[in-house]
Structure 1
Amino acid sequence: MHKKNIIVYGGCVSRDILNFDTVDEPCIKLLNYYARSSLATLGSNNAAKNISKKHYDSLLNIESKFQRRMVESDFKNQILESAGKGDYDLLLIDFLVDRFHLAEIDGKLVTRSVEFVRSGIKPNRLINTFSDQYLTLWREGIDNLLSVIDARADLDKVKINKVYWSDIATDEQDTIKLNEKWDIEKNNAKLDAMYEYVEKILPSSSIIEVDKSLLIADSNHKWGLSPFHYTDDYYRKMLEIIKA
């Protein structure tokens, strides 16, 4: 049976789906996983800029090789090259990484992820993730990514994981914690604006969405309590859709 080759550009909400592909004959092969990298950094003008060696050297301050690689990939906007190759069956994208602010270094915007902060690099300025400027940059970024895919690969291979932050957890006390710690409504309103934009560009078949009743935060999730760490039912349903 042919395995479906997949690239994930987003976060654990999309990557963890593949962990449920555990049958004797796995149906999915993960080619690349690009995490902690905001679409707002992918505009053609920004992607053309380079970052000095001293900042790459600072990435050695990040202990985890995987996390170091994620930040380096973000610096180089590697998803553009990878997506343009077209050697995949599906490119699964989610927008949850776009909760991070942007940082400017050497005149280039990068994602101010937790891992970036660990590098110790001091940015020249920040762009707030809820600002109008951020959303403008985000539109430029997804426009450029999709144009690269359209020119070199196949837009039919793109699937958007349309998902929202959950305000309900499996444990009642954790539901209270969720809503106290995170501004869920504000983040979901921002996601709505992003989905509205991309749904005007891509056909409905490119948008993957499960019933919102499956968006329940798992109090015992391996990555901890979070509005976007869901119960197993969510991942199983998404896997079913992807495999179809």
Structure 2
Amino acid sequence: MRAKIYGGCVSRDILNFDEAELIKLVSYNARSSLATLGSNNAAKNISKKHYDSLLNIESKFQRRMVESDFNNQILESAGKGDYDLLLIDFLVDRFHLAEIEGKLVTRSVEFLRSGIKPDRVVNTFSDQYLKLWKEGVDNLFNTVNNTVGLEAIRINKVYWTSVATNPQDSMMLNEKWDIEKNNAKLDAMYEYVENILPSSSIIEVDKNLLVADSDHKWGLSPFHFTDDYYRRMVKIFNA
């Protein structure tokens, strides 16, 4: 099965547990909010001087992800018929948006490393953000529908967790992150796509598996889970 992933490590890391290698990764796009994919925004361009600023990002992978976000590259990728599955998660939509020369981009941690000063910021919890997000979803889904069909889409319906394998880390999660507020926003997003896609397109595991791994290779966070989560997701896709 040829797969493209649009989201974060919560989806990408699933493939690390696909021991039979039944899922073949075609492409992976991270650090790019769906709220930037509306047709009006995607049609706008950013001048070369801002692309030059991306050289301030030391990691080549991180630099490439920000450049991909600037180009709305996921739309071009989704418009190709070289995949069977498009796995999407919404955890990247925790970031605010930055406006540069009239175009909205994702104000990710990697973007901040570029040193670019945006003209304004759109708060991720604002009504405007959700409106833009819905426009982005509609444009992406239309692109997929015109290419391989909506049946190729799978939504990784995942939530932030307040529970870690180490009880002390559970306290840290709740002190550092606004988990309830982010999960409430995710609920609104899932409700929107569930009115568009069939129930078979929504992939959700038992919430008991949403446990933060205190020793996760990417560090402690509300969406870096124990191995049991990823193994369960692999079983779902390989069933």
Q: How many Å separate the matches in 2 of 1:76 and 1:239? A: 31
Q: Secondary structure at the match of 1:122?
A: coil
Offset of residue 151 of structure 1: 1.6
Query: Which of 168, 171, 174 is the matching residue for 2:166?
Result: 171
Instruction: Indicate yes or no: 2:102 matched with 1:107.
Output: yes
Equivalent position amino acid for 2:7 in 1 = G
Instruction: Indicate yes or no: 2:128 matched with 1:133.
Output: yes
Aligned length: 239
* Number of the residue aligned with 2:62: 67
Deviation string, structure 1 residues 29-52 (Cα, Å, up to 9, x no partner): 111110000000000000000010
Point out 4+ residue stretches in structure 1 off by more than 6 angstroms: none
Deviation string, structure 1 residues 11-33 (Cα, Å, up to 9, x no partner): 0000000011134xx21211111
Contact 1:27-1:243 within 8 A present in 2 as well: yes
Query: Which of 50, 67, 70 is the matching residue for 2:45?
Result: 50
Deviation string, structure 1 residues 203-225 (Cα, Å, up to 9, x no partner): 00100000000000000100111
Structure 1: tracts of 5 or more residues without a match: none
Q: How many Å separate the matches in 2 of 1:111 and 1:78? A: 13
Q: How many Å separate the matches in 2 of 1:183 and 1:101? A: 15
Offset of residue 153 of structure 1: 2.2
* Number of the residue aligned with 1:162: 157
Q: Secondary structure at the match of 2:79?
A: helix
TM-score (ref. length: structure 2): 0.99
Deviation string, structure 1 residues 65-106 (Cα, Å, up to 9, x no partner): 000000000000010011111210110000000000000001
Q: Secondary structure at the match of 2:175?
A: helix
Q: CA RMSD in A?
A: 0.7
Q: How many Å separate the matches in 1 of 2:101 and 2:164? A: 42
Instruction: Indicate yes or no: 2:35 matched with 1:8.
Output: no
TM-score (ref. length: structure 1): 0.97
Contact 2:84-2:148 within 8 A present in 1 as well: no
Structure 2: tracts of 5 or more residues without a match: none
Contact 2:2-2:24 within 8 A present in 1 as well: yes
Q: How many Å separate the matches in 2 of 1:164 and 1:203? A: 20
Identity of aligned residues (%): 78
